[in-house]
Amino acid sequence: MELYLDLYSQPCRSVYIFASKNNIPFEFKKLSLLEGEQYGEEFGKINLIRKVPALRDGDFCLAESIAILLYLAEKFKTPDFWYPADLHQRACINEYLSWQHTTVRLHGSKMFWLRDKLDSALEDLNGSLKLLEEKFIQDKPFIAGDNFSLADLVAIVEVMQPVGSGLDVFEGRPKLSAWRDRVQAAIGKELFDDAHQSLLGAQESVTLMDASKMQFFKPKILKLFM
């Protein structure tokens, strides 16, 4: 099985951590979005949407991170806490997975890319983090209750994204900080740090990016957020 990933991407980090944590055998196919490798002819055969993450399992190809996570959970029969059979717990996880695309994920990405529009991006991010704390975490250890799940995995990589721009999103948020520590412990610090290594070095990388590349990608990035 092949996983096409760029660990700058929150969805890719979710898939990478999930597969690694569950000892799912896969070949890591590194693909650089900033280099435009998703537009290559070979990758187009894997995923016509031309986004990562992407999965190839024999002749079967799959796109979209949530679909990939659920496919892996079901195929490899991962422990129940990831995506519980309990109807209410699963519904809570589904609720977060449905909500996060246009909130925490989007606003965290804005902080990473749109540094010239930080005031507006920060306001949106703060609103999403407030909802994450008050609606989804509340006074529970994890989003779906007492156990770590796919919802927490997806949430933590999104919350970490603006950290790559130098923003400490945990400052002044003790509930969010305590949740992060529990999630990091559930994932394992070594795997957590490994998955986020590229992101935490990204500020310098993006700053030093070749101007011609930035000129090509910035309009595409802006289009996503406007």
**pLDDT at residue 162, as a whole number:** 80
**pLDDT at residue 209, as a whole number:** 46
CA–CA gap between residue 224 and residue 153 (Å, rounded): 24
- Quick one: average pLDDT of 35-62? 92
The band of 223, judged by pLDDT with boundaries at 50, 70 and 90, is very low
Domains of the chain: 2-78 (3.40.30.10), 80-204 (1.20.1050.10)
Concatenate the DSSP letters of all residues of 65-95 into one string: HHHHHHHHHHHTT--GGGS-SSHHHHHHHHH
Q: Is the pLDDT of residue 215 over 60?
A: no
The pTM (predicted TM-score) of the whole model is 0.84
Q: Give me the chain's average pLDDT, please.
A: 85
Q: What percent of the chain has pLDDT over 90?
A: 60
The band of 207, judged by pLDDT with boundaries at 50, 70 and 90, is very low
* Paired residues of 29 in beta bridges: 4
Give pLDDT tens digits for 55-91: 999 999 999 999 999 999 999 999 999 999 999 999 9
| Lowest-pLDDT range of 44-53, 107-116, 182-191 | 107-116
Q: Compute the C-alpha angle 198/199/204, nearest 5°.
A: 85
105, containing H or E segment? helix 104-113
CA–CA gap between residue 35 and residue 214 (Å, rounded): 10
